[in-house]
Amino acid sequence: MHRLLPENPGEAFLTPLDVANSVGLSGDDLLTAYRAMSLIRKLDRRMLNLQHQGRTTFNGAAPGEEAAVVGAAMALRPRDWVFPALRQGGAALLLGMPLADFMAQCLGNAEDSAHGRQKPGHFSSIEPRFVSSSSCVGSQLPQAAGAGIAARLRGDDSVVLAYLGDGATSEPDFHVALEFAATFRAQTVFLCQNNQWAISLPSARQTAAESIASKAEVYGLPGVLVDGNDVLAVYGATRRAVEGARSGGGATLIEAVTYRIGPHTSSDDPERYRDRGEEVEWSSKDPLVRLRSFLTGTGLWNEEKDEVQDAEISSEIEAALAAVESAPPPAVETLFSDVYAEMPLHLRIQRHELLQHLTAQGS
């Protein structure tokens, strides 16, 4: 198992710019990472407010985990795949998912490309290749292993990035996925965001192992333990794993040690099961503050630029929300679409009868 952690994981420190360059990130790349992390932080807050106002129903936010989400996604190419867990909205947006489409899928209205069929926060995209998340913990992992095996068998050099939380490592699907990925040399990288809590269960009560990354060894996979609050470290570890998978080296398990600063979802109250002081302590290791300090120290950033970017992001979010929130519910005929490539006769008959009934009712 490779350890890429400082002595005190999450402790803020400034890194010379040549370290960023050594992992393949330019100054512009770092600014892109900071903007992506800032966007999802502000977007999560906005979606939580919408939920409190009854304008949407669910949101799984990622405050404190943005470096793990964004750093891993930056290591991908456009034709690679992402199998998300719950908090990877920042990855979808970074890879090219339009913000308005993200918003529409959270609201589930006529602008939603999934026609309101999915639970809010379970978004997906064809381009980028971002598979819908599932509320069933860990179920994406065997699928991601299978997609990585399929890519190898086809001679396709695309790589699959599968995100998971520490709670998913207690699920049978985690072990099934690692066994198949190792045995069949899947082009899959498993990125575990160990945010210390699987809803109300702490990591210490999920495993007696030294780390989650160490579990890779028994399956014959490389395991990497990395500081999940350092976007450079996450990117570097993921990039090496992605390059290894793409060149035929098989799968890797990366554990990014981070912390879920807020609730598990917008329906959760973490104060019922964890000490407030723990959250305060980890808030001092905020990955956004850490990257901003780094950028400022290298001369790439300053307070004025931060204020301008903050205003731009706020305007972008509000514009996207205004563009999609006024849309009506999905058209009723979408109940019958997207089931078959060519709609069979019995569904066409049912659709016709339903539309006739609604017309007769004046609906």
φ, ψ at 2 (rounded to 5°):
-95, 135
pTM: predicted TM-score of the whole model, two decimal places: 0.91
Question: Is the backbone of residue 96 left (phi > 0), alpha (psi -120 to 50) or beta?
Answer: left
Neighbours of 323 (CB within 10 A): 14
DSSP, collapsed to helix, strand or coil, labels residue 268 as coil
Residues 6 or more apart from 336 whose CB is under 8 A from it? 343, 347, 348, 350, 351
**Element of type H or E holding 358:** helix 345-360
Angle between helices 27-52 and 231-246 (to 10 degrees): 110
Please tell me the predicted confidence (pLDDT) of residue 18.
61
Neighbours of 11 (CB within 10 A): 14
Neighbours of 85 (CB within 10 A): 23
Asked whether the beta carbons of 30 and 19 are under 8 A apart, the reply is no
Neighbours of 227 (CB within 10 A): 26
Asked whether the beta carbons of 162 and 83 are under 8 A apart, the reply is yes
Q: How far apart are CA 22 and CA 19, in angstroms?
A: 5
Asked whether the beta carbons of 266 and 51 are under 8 A apart, the reply is yes
Residue 136 Cα to chain centre, angstroms: 15
pLDDT in tens, the chain (363 residues): 666 655 454 444 334 466 677 778 899 999 999 999 999 999 999 988 888 888 887 778 888 999 999 999 999 999 999 999 989 999 999 999 999 999 999 888 999 988 888 877 788 999 999 999 888 899 999 999 999 999 999 999 999 999 999 999 999 999 999 999 999 999 999 999 999 999 888 888 889 998 999 999 999 999 999 999 999 999 999 999 999 999 999 999 999 999 998 888 777 788 788 888 888 888 889 999 999 999 999 899 999 999 999 999 999 999 999 999 999 999 999 999 888 999 999 999 999 999 999 999 886
Please tell me the predicted confidence (pLDDT) of residue 11.
42
Please tell me the predicted confidence (pLDDT) of residue 119.
79
Q: What is the dotted CATH code of the domain comprising 2-330?
A: 3.40.50.970
What residue type is 17 in one-letter code? L
Please tell me the predicted confidence (pLDDT) of residue 356.
94
Beta bridge partners of 253: 190, 223
Six token digits for residue 270: 């973490």
Q: How far apart are CA 276 and CA 128, in angstroms?
A: 38
Q: How far apart are CA 281 and CA 292, in angstroms?
A: 19
> In a 10 Å sphere around its CB, with 0-12 CB exposed, 13-18 middle and 19+ buried, how is residue 78 labelled?
exposed
Q: How far apart are CA 322 and CA 43, in angstroms?
A: 14
Residues 6 or more apart from 57 whose CB is under 8 A from it? 51, 120
Neighbours of 318 (CB within 10 A): 11
HEC assignment per residue over 48-92: HHHHHCCCCCCCCCCCCCHHHHHHHHCCCCCCCEEECCCCCHHHH
Catalytic residue numbers, as ranges: 260, 264, 273
Please tell me the predicted confidence (pLDDT) of residue 130.
96
> In a 10 Å sphere around its CB, with 0-12 CB exposed, 13-18 middle and 19+ buried, how is residue 32 labelled?
middle
What is the residue whose two structure tokens read 């409190």? 52
Six token digits for residue 42: 């502000």
Find the DSSP H helices in 226-325.
231-246, 276-283, 287-297, 303-325
